[in-house]
Amino acid sequence: MNEKEFYIYLGNHFKGRIRLRFSINKGEITDLVLQYEAMIEEKWFAIVRYDCAHGFFHRDLLHPNGDKEKKIIDVPNLKYAFTFAKQDLEDKWEWYKEQYLMKRKK
């Protein structure tokens, strides 16, 4: 089994990043975590995480107070799940951060 972990940095001056961690066995993804993290006041905060913990692929929206919103996402395989999660985070990271900051102010 081959494990990989790396970051994709987002925006000017590294305002955000996607942490990618996945395992591959014989060319197939067997486990994955993709997590969007935002730089807020000189500290990294996890805001959205996709993974297949608990035996199913899902997205966790992480709230400033520590709560999580879990949404199960039906996918045909983990290769598709990886592509889906990466594209969502790359497309919507600014929106996710804005929502997180609004909840933080409450």
pLDDT in tens, 52-74: 998 999 999 999 999 999 999 99
> What is the average per-residue pLDDT within 39-46?
94
| Count helices and strands in the chain by DSSP H and E runs | 1, 6
DSSP code, position 63 = P
C-alpha to C-alpha distance for 96 and 105, rounded to whole angstroms: 15
Output the pLDDT for position 1: 76
Output the pLDDT for position 68: 95
CA-CA-CA-CA torsion sign (13, 19, 20, 23): positive
Question: Phi-psi bin for 105: left (phi > 0), alpha (psi -120 to 50), beta?
Answer: alpha
Q: Please report which confidence band the pLDDT of residue 89 belongs to, taking 50, 70 and 90 as the band edges.
A: very high
Output the pLDDT for position 16: 95
**What does the chain come to in residues?**
106
Output the pLDDT for position 15: 84
Q: Are 7 and 19 in contact (CB under 8 A)?
A: yes
Average pLDDT, the chain: 94
Global pTM value:
0.92
Q: What are phi and psi of 14, to 5 degrees?
A: 55, 55
